[in-house]
Amino acid sequence: MKNVLVTGGAGFIGSNFIHYLLQTESDIKVVNYDALTYAGNLDSLADVADDPRYHFIHGNICDEAQVNSALKERQIDTIVHFAAESHVDRSILGPRQFIETNVLGTFTMLEAARAYWIKEKGQLLDRVRFHHVSTDEVFGSLKPGEPAWTEQTPYAPNSPYAASKASSDHLVRAYGHTYGLPYTITNCSNNYGPYQFPEKLIPVIILNALEGKPLPVYGDGQQIRDWLHVEDHCEAIHLVLKKGENGSTYNIGGENQPANLTIVETICDILDEIQPNAAYVPHRRLIQFVTDRPGHDRRYDMDTHKISAELGWRPRHTLKQGLLDTVQWYLSHPEWVAAIRQKQEYKGWMDANYKSR
């Protein structure tokens, strides 16, 4: 792993992963390949922009010629594929972009890797890896008392987003089986932490609470999710790249399953504690229950025994400490937050998704 191409590297998890790689691996070159759509933000990588080990390419994963050129020119031996449309609500309102990016984009990346690594023998196969980053949402929804999902759980996606990611997972496995493309897949739970675009639950709640705006909670707020700090996720992916078995899939979770309402209440309590003189204390009074998402999955739970037993990985962050760190990060990065709030895409999305609820 010397020349790594990170797709979607200007996004939330991708930018954190690039930071992690550059901090962890001294003898490495990282290429950030990103289309800079609404959630892509190079400000998240401003501190590494001048690092000679880092290079940015403004490109779309559906652009076959540009992807092929990037792999050859940079002699890429490892692809870490984060680039994806990833918001369930957005997939419900406009599924086409999810199929184009998540399915056709993954297909383009796989074809480029096969062309360079296998057809042209640009790299020795025991020294290359296509790592595909996926989601627990491909497994569907759990009923109360049902066991956590393992890597052998059959797929049962319920949203256009989940279906697009399930399709991309199947493509990666098919390229491994059919063409011998070396690959690994990780299915992760809900991520949170620094640099997350404020369309997801935790940053929406933090930023709304700071301004005294309503804190929207879908339905009764009793939907259960597993929450994974992004730094723990990056460490797990790094371990899979270094030690994971070719052709294997690994579940990555935070080993906690609170209700969404509990997450919101915990953030409110953290803000009350660290900003006791704020105008909106107690912040829980800002909670507002809104119309639920269509077909909202009720419960997720990940069995992470495999990655723990085989690679020795366990999450380092407790949920309470991780949420505290995340709140403090947003408080200490007002310029990053202000720049996001000025984006028309952010304003338009908040209006489109929440005003009618």
Residues with catalytic annotation? 136-137, 161
92 Cβ neighbours under 8 A, 6+ residues apart: 159, 160, 293, 294, 295
What length does the chain have?
357
Burial class (CB in 10 A: 0-12, 13-18, 19+), 29: buried
DSSP string for residues in 206-234: HHHHHHT--EEEETTS--B--EEEHHHHH
Under a CB-based contact definition with an 8 Å cutoff, are residues 182 and 128 in contact? yes
Three-state secondary structure call for residue 84: coil
Write b or e for each residue in 112-134: b if 16 or more Cβ atoms lie within 10 A of its Cβ, otherwise e: bbbbbbbeeebbeeeebbbbbbb
Amino acid in position 344: Q
Task: For the chain, count helices (H), then strands (E).
Answer: 13, 11
Please tell me the distance from the alpha carbon of residue 57 to that of residue 321, in angstroms, as a whole number: 35
Burial class (CB in 10 A: 0-12, 13-18, 19+), 295: exposed
Please tell me the distance from the alpha carbon of residue 47 to that of residue 5, in angstroms, as a whole number: 19
What are the tokens at 8?
A: 């979607």
Q: Which residue has the tokens 């990611």?
A: 165
Q: Which residue has the tokens 């930018």?
A: 15
| Torsion sign across C-alpha atoms 337, 339, 340, 341 | positive
State the helix-helix crossing angle for 12-24 and 230-243, rounded to 10 degrees: 60
